[in-house]
Structure formats: structure tokens, C-alpha cells
Structure 1
Amino acid sequence: MKRKHPEAQSRRAFMQVAASTGLLATLPFGRRAFAQGEAPLLVNSIRSLSNPYHAAWNAGGEAFAKHAGLDYVTLVTEGDSEKGVADIRGILARTGGNAVVNVDPNDAADARPIVEACVAAGAHVMSQWNKPDDLHPWDVGPNYVAHMSFNGQQYGRTTAEIMFEAMGGSGGVLALGGILSNTVAIQRRAGLEAAVADAPGIELLDYQVGDWQSSKAYDIVNTWLARFAGQFSGIWCANDDMAIGALEALRVNGMSGQVAITGIDGVETAVQAVMDGEMAATVSWDPFWQGSVGLSIPLKARLGELDVTTLGKDKREFYAKGVVVTPENAEAFYEANYVTAPGLDLDDVWGRYAGPIEQS
């Protein structure tokens, strides 16, 4: 398969340059005048900047804030729920609630205290991925603008089915999941298990929690290589960071390309691995876009450019579209997302809308 272009920049690096050279002219918010003390602080709260997915998310936030002419802060939880909640409360206290918050809560339960703190302080907040099933923006009020996610069960199943096909439709598989209490991890595991149930030639040998981390995935796979030697031909991973950890363990043991691996997130290293035949598939959410649109929507609400009260439930709790990346489209995807300038137009904040999140 084609190796990446030597002159290619990572998406994050490109967008940092683009932000400083005016290439983000498609973004909707130009610099505007605010009275002293009125300009809201833009805040992205994510897991870790060492994770390439969240690093791209942060790059999107930085680029959006620079174009909007607003100050920007990145908060990282490093997997610590208490820290995540406390850091946001600290920002709210510092700004007197004059903030726009885009948050990927560490755990589903974290969303409630974060949302309640933002609303009480008068900030506008949008959540992504994780929240309790009974927490809805329309029950809280207009300052909890929206919640966005992607259909974890659908894409968890899709990547599993691609892996089964790459295996020839039969054999043993192993699986690496995210944090047990994480909404997305639960959904993706459900998709995997549904796919296994419908594939009589496939046996799920083991499922281990890798906490979304490549280092934990690496250690788990090394243990599996001894425990299940010769018994498996596929490793399903709930995110790309774990998939890369699994791949590295295979590389060290001389097994690269011999086991079908799938991940989810569409980070650059995973797409490259698909191009090189070391992974069977990944799914891109476009974290750069998530870091941007997750600020754009609540900022529009704060500035009065979006009337939250007129939005139906379908636009306040919704799924966005992902892109499944396989060997058939990996090279074109890489060119469009990591080599050339990515197109981004947040004037159409619903351009990647995939439908409402079904209510239980």
C-alpha cells in the first residue's frame, strides 16, 4: 500500500499553520467587537492531549477560537472524573460564567454536575459522547444547548463485520473495550456482541478493558499472544489508540499484517495502518470538526444567532455521521484529511447531522 507523502503534515499541524495565515476563512465567526469583560471564554474539556484523537479535537478548538478572536482554554481530565468536574467549576468561577463549554465527559455520570454547574453560572454548554440516558437538554434549559454523539452500536458492529470478512468469515477474535461505565464503550461493545451473535463461524475468546489507552492495549495483547497462541485471527478495538497499541504488540512479535485489527476514531496513524495493510478498518468522526462545531453551536446560542427554544428535540440530542475507512478508500481519505487542506464550513452546523438519538 502507499506510504504517506514525506511532505505531508498532520492535520493538527496544518490547521495550526492555517489558523495563523488566514486560511480558515470558511469559519463563520469573524473577529467582532465586545465591550470590556463581555467576550466569552471558549473552553474544550477533553481526556488527554497525548491521545491523537483529542489532540486533533483541541486543534479544532484552537483554530476556531483564533478565527473568532476569542480566548481559548483546554482542560484535560487525564481520566480523572473529579478533576474534570473541578476544572470546569474553576473556569466558571474565574469567568463568572461568561464561557462557552464543549465537553467530552470522562464518564457518563460526569455530565450532570458539569451541565448543572454551567447552567447555574450562566454559561452555555454542549456535551459530546457521554451523558446519563435521563439527562436531556430540553429538561435543563436553553443554556444546555445540545448533546452530540455517534451511533456507537452501529459502528461497533460495522467494524466487527469488516474484521470477520478480513478473517474469511471464521475464527477466534479478541476484543479491547473502553472504560466500563463510558456510554460509548458500552454501545460499541453491544455492536460487537450483536455482530458475533450473527456470525456462527466466529468465536469471541476474550474481552478486556483497555481504558482507551495504547499502553494498556499493548500489555493486554502481549498476554493474549501467549494465552491464545494460534487461536485467533482478529482483534477488535473500541478506539484507535488501543488498536495502535495492539498493532505495536504484533509488530514486536513479528505478526504485523497477520491479524485483522479494527479501530475507531480515524486518527492519522490508524488510517496509515489501513493503507499499509496492518489494520482492516477504522471509523473517522473528524475530531478537528468536533472540537470546532462543539464550540460553534453553543457560541451561536450565546450570541443570539441560534434560538435554542425553536430547536426540536431531534436537533438538541443527535447523532452525527462517521466515515468508515477501509483499504478501498483509505488512500483517498488520507489525501483529503491529512495531506490537503481540509474543508470546514461551520455556517452549516447541521451538515453532518445523522438523525436524533433514540430515546429509551
Structure 2
Amino acid sequence: MRKLLIALASATALLATSAAAQEKIKIGAAPYGLNAEFMQIWTAALQDHPAVKSGEVELTVFDGRYDALVQQDQFKTMITQKYNAIIFAPIDVDAGASAVQSAVDAGIPVIGSNTRVNSDQLTSYVGSDDTVSGYLEAKSVLDKIGCKGNVVIIEGPVGQSAQIQRLQGNKKALAECPNVKVLEDQTANWSRAEAQTLMENWLTSHPNQINGIIGQNDEMALGAIEAIKAAGLDVKSFAIAGIDGVTDALRAAKAGEMTSILQDARAQAQGALDLAIFNAKKGDYKPESDIWTTYKDMPWNDGKDKTYNVPWTPVTAENVDKLLSTRK
């Protein structure tokens, strides 16, 4: 009898374990690339989400390697392995649409985060309005140079939504300063090293002519700063701006070398994951991240909104130390 009871108990435990395994939600995150700090912060925020830490969600993060074809292959893998939901930050605004369609056709909800895709098949999108940041960063440069002189623009990967929208914002600000001339406008693919090379060349091609530098992300603005320092020039004689609020940019902003606008990677990532779980569980879920109480202007609204717009936070002398304290 005792052996029978032990066998029954073991079987019950095995069934419970099996049921728990079946209940675990399998979610894939497909960011465009993991080389730069911003996406590393975004990924760390996903891994720090309460549902991941508790084991409720089995999270897999794929490295898109800045390649649309790589991201398409990753979608095929997630579809084959029957993931319950996908979080997508595409490298290309158009190329990502077919990947989204393939997942939706397979019955897998796709939540957009950080960068946009030209598809109406996304269940929801959690990100920030890049047109606004592009305007704000360019305006900070133009205000510093008194709306006159010469600037250069360092763009992100051509065809990515952030590059497209930030350039729109850059141009809106430039239109308000018709006496400012754009000497150069090229991509450095979000790369600090590529931006440094561009800036080195521009400092040689336009000696003593560049007054302002509009970097469409912080990494590229920081690359420009390194080129300026390497040339033996005074960084503070240039007006330099970037976007994202990465750690080195916060330090440079504190030193008065540049301005930056914080893009909240944590809110974008954890908000997207809450929505992915909500859709994977067919609405039987309450958000577990604290970001919904942090941003009163971005309510959860029962997980039904198509777009959740995370506000920008300009980095200032008043908030920079607090922002730096959040970085490890």
C-alpha cells in the first residue's frame, strides 16, 4: 500500500511538473543588433522583467546582427518552434513586414518595440516618436550656434524607422534656421567607430568650418567627439547632440561636451513584454512591470491600444546624476 501511495504521489508530481512546463510562455525577442549599449540595456530590461525572473516566461533574445535577412531567418525559427509571441525591433522598416506577416499567418502575435515596421499586422507597438527626438536634438545644436553657421548630420542605418523619422525631425528644426548650411550628411550605422572616421574626414575637408554636429544617436555623437579630441581641437567649441542617453553620453553631457535625449529602453522593452504575455495568454494577464505607473501619460488601457508612446527625457544638469545612478 505504501509503495502504491508513493507511486501515486510521484505520478501526481510528474503531472504537475508537466502542466507547469506546458503553461510556461515561450517568447522570442528579435532586436536588430546587440553591439551597442542601447540594445544591451533593452535586452537586460527584458531579462529583468518580473515574469521572466519568476519563470512564468521563457525568453529567448536573438541578435539580428543589423541584417534584415538574419531577422527573417530568426522569425522562421520562432515559427517552427511554435513561440507564443514575438517582440520585434526591425533593422529595416520595409523588409521586416514579410517577417511579421509570416508570424501572424502562423497565429503568433508580434509586438513592435523601439523601431517601426511598415505593417498593419503588429498587435501593438511600444516605442518613442523619433520625429520628436530628431527635432529636439537638432534644435539644441542650432540654439547653441545661434541659428547660423555650418552643421554636419550623422545618420543611422538608411531605411530604419529611427533614421527616417529622426531625419524628418532634424529637417524640421533646420527649416527654422535658413541661414544654417548642412556641409555633410552621411550614415554611420549607429556606430561610434564609423562616426569617428566620418568626422575625421570632415574635419580635414572642412577645416574650421563645422560649428555643429547632429548625431542621430549617442554612439555616433561620441565618435565625433573622439575625432575632435584626436585632432587636438576643443570639443566645447562645437555644438554636439545625440539621442538615447547611453552611459558615456550621460558622462559627456555632465562634462558639457554634448547634449542627449534619453530614450527609455527599459520602458520600451518591459512594456512590449507585458503586451506579448497579454496576447499570448489571450488577455488573461495583468501587467507586471512598474513602467505603467512610472508613465502616467501612457496608461495600460487593458492592453488594447495599438500604439504605446514612451515619452522622451532630455538630459539636463538637474537629472544627469540620477540617470547615471541607474547604470551599473
Instruction: Tell me which interval the TM-score lies in, with the shorter structure as reference length.
Output: 0.7 to 0.9
Does 2:58 correspond to 1:71? yes
Q: Aligned-pair distance for 1:34?
A: 5.0
**Displacement after TM superposition at 1:236 (Å):** 0.3
Q: Distance in 2 between matches of 1:131 and 1:313?
A: 20
Contact 1:100-1:295 within 8 A present in 2 as well: no
Structure 1 counterpart of 2:61, one-letter code? T
Residue 170 of structure 2 corresponds to 192
Select which of 240, 249, 259 maps to 2:218: 240
SS at match of 2:57: coil
1:322 maps to amino acid: W
SS at match of 2:211: strand
Secondary structure in structure 2 of the residue aligned to 1:76: coil
1:288 maps to which residue? 266
Contact 1:124 1:299 (8 Å CA) reproduced: no
| 2:200 pairs with 1:213 | no
1:263 corresponds, among 231, 242, 247, to 242
| Partner of residue 230, structure 1 | 208
Matched, 1:107 2:92: yes
Preserved contact between residue 24 and residue 55 of structure 2 (Cα < 8 Å): no
Gaps of 5+ in 1: 1-31, 340-360
Q: Deviation string for 1:284-311 (max 9, x for gaps)?
A: 121122222211112012222369xxx7
| 2:278 is equivalent to residue 300 of structure 1 | yes
- The AA in structure 2 aligned to 1:269 is D
Structure 1 residue 62: Cα displacement: 1.1
Aligned match of 1:275:
254
1:53 aligned onto 2:32: no
Q: Which amino acid aligns with 1:161?
A: K
Change (3 A) 1:260 1:55: same
TM norm structure 2: 0.82
The one-letter amino acid of 1:67's match is S
Instruction: Give the superposition deviation at 1:230.
Output: 0.5
Q: CA deviation at 1:200?
A: 3.3
Structure 1 counterpart of 2:129, from 126, 146, 151: 151
Structure 1 residue 89 corresponds to structure 2 residue 76: yes
In 2, Cα distance between equivalents of 1:234 and 1:68? 48
- Partners of 2:19 and 2:207 lie apart in 1 by 64
Letter in 2 for 1:217: A
3-state secondary structure, aligned to 2:126: strand
The aligned counterpart of 1:131 is 117
The question of whether the paired residues in 2 share the 8 Å contact of 1:92 and 1:99 is answered with: no
CA contact (8 A) 2:154 2:220 kept: yes
**CA distance 1:34–1:116, change in 2 (3 Å):** farther
Taking structure 1 as the reference length, the TM-score comes to 0.75
The answer to whether the 8 A contact 2:151-2:213 is kept is yes
CA distance in 1, matches of 2:174, 2:255: 26
Greater shift in the superposed pair: 62-71 or 50-59: 62-71
Q: Secondary structure at 2:174's aligned position in 1? A: helix
Is this contact kept in 2: 1:174–1:234, CA < 8 A? yes
Look up the equivalent residue of 1:338 and give its one-letter code.
Answer: R
Q: How many residues align?
A: 294
CA distance in 2, matches of 1:198, 1:125: 39
> Per the alignment, in what secondary structure is the counterpart of residue 94 of structure 2?
helix
Q: What SS does the corresponding residue of 1:108 show, helix, strand or coil?
A: coil
Q: Following TM superposition, where does structure 1 have runs of at least 4 consecutive aligned residues deviating by more than 4 angstroms?
A: 311-314
* Aligned-residue offset at 1:259: 1.4
SS of 1:90's equivalent in the other structure is: helix
TM superposition shift of 1:57: 0.6
Which segments of 5 or more consecutive residues in structure 2 lack a partner in the other structure?
Answer: 1-16, 287-300
SS of the residue aligned with 1:48? coil
- In structure 1, the residue matched to 2:10 is none
* 1:116 corresponds to: 101
Among all aligned residue pairs of Structure 1 and Structure 2, give the percentage whose two residues are the same amino acid: 22
**Would the aligned equivalents of 2:29 and 2:86 in 1 still touch at CA under 8 Å?**
yes
Structure 1 residues 239 and 314: alpha-carbon distance in aligned structure 2, compared to 1, 3 A threshold: farther
